[in-house]
Structure formats: C-alpha cells, structure tokens
Amino acid sequence: MPRFSANLSMLYPELDFLERFAAAAADGFAAVEYVGAYDREPQVLRDLLDRHDLTQALFNLPAGNWAAGERGIACLPDRIDAFRESVDTAIRYAEATRCNQVNCLAGIVPPGVDRQAAEQVLVDNLRHAAPRLADAGIKLLLEPINPRDMPGFLVNSTADYERIAAEVGHNNLFLQYDFYHMQVVQGDLLNTFRRLQGRIAHVQVADNPGRHEPGSGEINYAAIFAALDAAGYDGWVGAEYRPRAGTSEGLGWFEPWRRRR
C-alpha cells in the first residue's frame, strides 16, 4: 500500500506553516515533507512531529534566497562554500527531525555561465555531499524539474540524473522521481520508474496540466499507485500539488490510503 507524505510547502497554503503539521495529521497523512524550514528551530519541528505522530519524510538542502528566485545553489560557481556549509546545516536538521533523506535542488544556471560549467560545479558539490550525508546515515537525492515551471533549472530529466550520478560516482546519490515533472519532460512514466527503481528513494505526485490533485488531469494515477505496489516500492509518495479548492476538500483521491485513528 503506498504511504503518503503531505508536502507542506504546497498543501494547506491557507494556514501558517507551523499549523500545517496538525492539518496534515488530521487529514490522515502519516508523514510530511517540505522545501525547508531553516528559519525555524529544529526542536520546534521535532516537537510538532512528535505531537502529531508524523514522520519527517524529506526536506531539501538549503536552496538559497527563494524569494529572490533562487532554486538551489548546488550549481552556482560563486556559492561553493555556502553549499558545503548547507550540507552541515541539513544534517543538523535531519538529525533533529529523524529524517533519513534530503533532496538537492541543483539550481538555475546563472547568466553568463554555460551549462557544462554549472554541471561540473554540481558534480563537485555532490561528490562533497554524498559521503558526508552517508556517514550521517542520510540519503542524498537529486530531483529533475521541468524547465517550463523553472526556466533555466539545470537538471531536467532522468537522463540528466543518470549522467550526473555516473560522474559523481558515489552510491549515496539517489533519484527523486516527481511524476508531474517527468510527465511534462519525457512521459513513459512507468517504464522509466521500473528501470530506475533501484535508484529511486522518493516519488512525488501531482497531475498535469495545472499541477493539481492526482486525478485532475491526464496522468493515470490509479495505474501508477497500483504499479508502485506491484513493484514493491517502499518509499514515501509525496503529495506535492497546488490544491484546486481547499486542501482537505480535495483529498478524495487519498481516501483509500488515509490513516485512520
């Protein structure tokens, strides 16, 4: 049975961030994930997880100045020291929240830097991060993101992930397989999932077009959830979408799997 994690960066936008933990638990989620909550004390997050009996499924490495348009700093040639510090910060938060995986957002290629040079910076940074996170018992993930939603983002496809992972050459670099981005970029969702399953540590779901609830668009999520089960996928499935109406009102798709207490 798929196990779902509420993505608190997208779900419950009507609530303050810290109130979203209670809302996710009340709606039957057993886990939460988010882009990052580095502006909160790690103990505050730990207390919320404990109070609501939630698992911290995932968060991202510090992604730079989000409000200013940054979407990760891992490929930025002038931010190598900041990236390396960010790995230590992420380990501190992961230990506090007992989270065993973190996602790296590669970042947007800066003007004047060519993609190959940016990719080399990313590879070097991942070579630094993968063993450090492994020593702490934390998986490092890399997520391809479609360039329509994030123009200029460096890592867009599973081919990008495979090429970069081969270059990094460390077994602690897993794929975060977001079905929405993969539908936009390349399709063939289940064949690719099955081929790369051994390297996939986390999946996320949203429908296309619109990035709304599973079942609101063209992706056959009934077939995908059945295939995840049939394949013995035992990771979390992140509900990372923009609710069309209210979050709780739009959870009909989740009814068969929600935790009942």
Ligand X SMILES: O=C(O)[C@H](O)C(=O)CO
Q: What's the min distance (Å) between Cβ of 88 and Mg ion?
A: 24
d(CA 202, CA 142): 10
Q: Select 60 or 183, whichever has its Cβ closest to ligand X.
A: 60
d(CA 142, CA 107): 11
Instruction: Pick the binder of ligand X from 8, 24, 30, 35 (CB under 6 A).
Output: 35
Contacts of 191 (CB under 8 A, 6+ apart): none
Q: What's the min distance (Å) between Cβ of 260 and ligand X?
A: 28
By CB under 5 A, residue 178 contacts Mg ion: yes
CA end-to-end span of the chain, whole Å? 17
d(CA 108, CA 156): 11
Q: Which of residues 143-182 bind ligand X (CB under 6 A)?
A: 143, 145, 178, 181
Q: Which of residues 67-96 bind Mg ion (CB under 5 A)?
A: none
From the list Mg ion, ligand X, none, partner contacted by residue 60 (C-beta under 5 to 8 A by kind) = ligand X
Q: Which helix (H) or strand (E) covers residue 118, if one does?
A: helix 115-135
Residue 61 and residue 94 in contact, taking contact as beta carbons nearer than 8 Å: no
Query: Number of residues in contact with ligand X, rule: CB under 6 A?
Result: 9
Cβ density class 176-212: b for 16+ within 10 Å, e for less: bbbbbbbbbbeeebbebbeebbebbbbbbbbbbeebb
User: In this structure, is the dihedral angle defined by the CA atoms of residues 94, 95, 101 and 104, taken in order, positive or negative?
Assistant: positive
Q: Which of 33, 119, 213, 240 is catalytic?
A: 240
Instruction: Pick the binder of ligand X from 60, 97, 125, 183 (CB under 6 A).
Output: 60
By CB under 6 A, residue 108 contacts ligand X: no
Q: What's the min distance (Å) between Cβ of 36 and ligand X?
A: 8
d(CA 226, CA 231): 9
d(CA 183, CA 181): 5
By CB under 6 A, residue 240 contacts ligand X: yes
Active site residue 240: yes
Instruction: Pick the binder of Mg ion from 204, 241, 247, 254 (CB under 5 A).
Output: 204
Q: Which of 143, 167, 218, 255 is catalytic?
A: 143
Q: Select 213 or 240, whichever has its Cβ closest to Mg ion.
A: 240
Q: What's the min distance (Å) between Cβ of 179 and Mg ion?
A: 9
Residue 102 and residue 61 in contact, taking contact as beta carbons nearer than 8 Å: yes
Q: Which x/- pattern over 220-249 shows residues binding Mg ion (rule: CB under 5 A)?
A: --------------------x---------
Site residues (CB under 5 A) for Mg ion? 178, 204, 240
Contacting positions for ligand X (CB under 6 A): 35, 60, 105, 143, 145, 178, 181, 204, 240
- Which residues are catalytic, by number? 143, 240
